[in-house]
């Protein structure tokens, strides 16, 4: 029984770590987008838009960080 409880704690710790990594990557990407002058439109169905929306889908935390790095390099080059 004790081993099962330990495995549960390990699983929760890994889950919390993954959630923290994803949250940090999301914040990093949001900051990079803002720095690069990119703003996503509000998701208000009443709003008239001149452009169609593109679904970016789900990406992993490392990919979000890589995208943020590219955005920041581009913003710095301007």
pTM of the model: 0.68
What is the CA angle 22-44-23, rounded to 5?
10
Q: Dihedrals φ, ψ of 45, to 5°?
A: -65, -20
What is the CA angle 69-66-77, rounded to 5?
25
Question: How does pLDDT run across 26-36, given as a tens digit for each residue?
Answer: 889 989 988 99
Question: How does pLDDT run across 38-77, given as a tens digit for each residue?
Answer: 877 655 555 566 666 667 778 899 999 999 999 999 989 8
The domain limits of the chain are 2-77
The dihedral over CA atoms of 63, 65, 66, 68, expressed in degrees to the nearest 10, equals 120
């Amino acid at each position: 029984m004790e081993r099962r409880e330990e495995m549960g704690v390990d699983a929760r710790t890994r889950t919390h770590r993954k959630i923290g990594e994803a949250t940090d990557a999301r914040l990093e990407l949001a900051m990079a987008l803002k720095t690069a002058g990119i703003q996503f439109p509000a998701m208000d169905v009443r709003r008239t838009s001149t452009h169609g929306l593109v679904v970016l889908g789900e990406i992993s935390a490392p990919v979000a960080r890589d995208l943020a790095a590219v955005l920041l390099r581009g913003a710095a080059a301007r």
